[in-house]
Structure 1
Amino acid sequence: MPSSCIIIPCYNEAKRLNVDAFKAFQKNNSNFDMCFVNDGSTDDTMSILNELKNLDSGIKIINFKLNKGKAEAIRHAVLKLSEYDYIGYLDADLSTPLAEISRLLTIAKTEQIEFVLGSRIKIIGSSIQRKAYRHFFGRVVATFIDSGILKLDIYDTQCGAKIIKNDLAQQLFKQPFKTKWLFDVELLARLKKEKGLTYCKTQVKEIPLQKWHDDGDTRITFFEFLKTPFDLLKIYWQYK
């Protein structure tokens, strides 16, 4: 049995799912299973996922009739996948390529790190494409998050590519999150509160991605943007 499983939450992804990319990756990476979570999609997402599943036994499907949101979709999947050594997740649009999540897993295993985060740091030799306004807003929020809440010197909490040792993931995802869009921040805040600063400094590693391309189709609503300060306060008071 593969030692790792990657969770891909899907909500109305029929037009964005790169079926060929997922098929090729699964064929060439026998150490991975993939678990797609259909989060109450109203388009043809589930039909496409069923076709993928029929092609490979390493592909699992979890189907929710009603939309639960990305945080709950991933949380429920984690709790159903306790048999693996490592659990990861990334966005269905493959803004983070599958090769990158494989690289993060290799780093986690080789260096025996329990929590590895992809990071969209634009450095020489990398290909990070992100719209300027999203980059600016993201940097403002990320700076406040780390200086005011986490204090872990993390550059990019919101990148949708992460690898976690599964026994740790089972602990961190056991309880529902207080927020939806900022659940990645809450996950790290929960980790710090439960394991302590010293553990985080040694067992959390941020890895600059070699490639990340913004497809421009954000699923975050304007209302959710407006809720950001209140959600950050909620996380602060919950995990201080």
Structure 2
Amino acid sequence: MMLDLRPGSVVCESGTGSGSVSHAIIRTVAPTGHLHTVEFHQQRAEKAREEFREHHLSRWVTVRNQDVCRSGFGVSHVADAVFLDIPSPWEAVGHAWDALKVEGGRFCSFSPCIEQVQRTCQALAARGFSELSTVEVLPQVYSVRTVSLPPPDLGAAPGPDAGPFRSGAPMKEAVAPRLDLRTQPIRPDASCRIAGTTGPWTTGTKDECVATPTGCKKGHLSPGPEGEVGGESMSNCVPEL
């Protein structure tokens, strides 16, 4: 929701970790979108790549084993959104800007410590991101019960990696069998409190750069004897119509 994702979106993510967020992103952007996920630890990257294959999701995700703060996401100007869950997200803000499309995109970072949030917001503002916002996630009371849900229809085309989903198949054909209450009774509702620390989510927006004869609204200038402003020229700005 914070990243405005939809089917067809291209997303860059780091770190991959257990891949739980990656799976959620893939289900959101499929069948025409793609996820580029970067994991620093080699073993975690290999494990995530293996699980994506087992779950027949490989066609929608590219896993890279590298340091996103030093090497970036491995792509430039293709992403609609960037999500970070790393110890020092402020060090990857520049790479996030480069990965996002020239016409703009959304940024989101999860950090458990307010000091991380402060440094990330400073880096985002310095880089030119706008609409900066931080939302604190607090523990809530949940009602726990067992339900039967259909498997997701990702609209995959027929193929060796298509998995259990068929393109255009009606959802009713994929509905899971009903529970046999004689052997699998539904548990009664039970309220429980999920313990844990708060988790601030910081978001920002990369605005579109529009090139004009004298410069763009981000302060980038045409290459000239005086050099470039902010280390960037207007080569990646959208021409003014």
Question: What TM-score, normalized by structure 2, do the two folds share?
Answer: 0.36
Greater Rg by CA:
2
Question: What TM-score, normalized by structure 1, do the two folds share?
Answer: 0.36
Higher relative contact order (CA 8 A, sep 6+): 1
